[in-house]
Structure 1
Amino acid sequence: MKKNHLDIEQVRTMLRNTLRKVRDLYLEPGGDISVKLHTKAGSVTPDMLGLNPKDEAPSILVIEDGQIKEEELRTVKKSKELTEDVLYGEWSETDGFYIQPYPQTNSQIQ
């Protein structure tokens, strides 16, 4: 640290964390720091809990500004039975359809 003209408070500021959680700290040639935390200080992972969550499938935009994107809809093997009141819609294998209707304004309310 002396060679790089750093004091402990500068390192603490760069970390935005307490040094108590740090196991190893490396000052990279470009001035960045790499940190390895003590196991107890790290975040809990699904593996630690014995869980096996599925990765999220990518979503595909199928409706944009009320316009149905027919090629994308065919790609996900879905039908065109949607309303013109939809602002935005996307499909993901994981979550299915997400539909966002146009916001209602006073002139649209009947």
Structure 2
Amino acid sequence: MDYWLIAAKLVTAFIALWLMTRLLGKKEISQLTPFDFISSLMLSELVGNTIYDREAHYAMLLYALAVWMGLSLALEKIVQLLPWLSVPLSGRPDIVIRDGSVDERAMKRNKLDMHQIGMLLREQSVFSVKEVAYAIFEPNGSLSVMKKPNADTPTREELRLPDKPIEMPVILIDQGYMERDALQEIERDETWLKALLQEQGVERIRDVYYAEWSEAEGLHLQMKKRCGTVT
């Protein structure tokens, strides 16, 4: 009897979840807001506990699904009627890079570090902060990037120039901390980095918010706001 009850609950839950997805609209995983993600986790926990709990009768599953569907639809309608609720529920986009300069406050608000930003930029085929006019951190965790006009240059093939070796910039300093593994990767040491910083008029590594290095472009750095900005 338990097996038939579990099967009936599973079929009911499957149909109900499909119906809720159709009613609430289709969303890819990458489009889910934090609220959507938490809501889906709670729903899966609710359905799972109800299906395998012997004391949870079939009517309880139907009731739980109906209440959850009602709450979800009501919330969607409320947000449509009161658009100002969309920001506190879903979050707002936040500009984290402006004209090649990282916004420290926006980074702290969104609990981001430069390695995370670097990964999100590379997903947009951007390998250096210098190329970015604006980078907007979206509520779903993605990054929208607008390149600087001079970053969209013609290809070497279009200009009929010989091939140039491709090199990826390496992060050497992240929020005042030196990346020793990155230094080893480019076969340099702390003394070399300090000498390079001194050439830029920087005395202390902890005053640097972000620094990246490439053999072709050299050192690109941004000072912490209280110290001013150097590039």
Relative contact order, higher structure (CA 8 A, sep 6+): 1
**Larger strand proportion of the pair:** 1
**What is the TM-score with the length of structure 2 in the denominator?**
0.24
**What is the TM-score with the length of structure 1 in the denominator?**
0.45
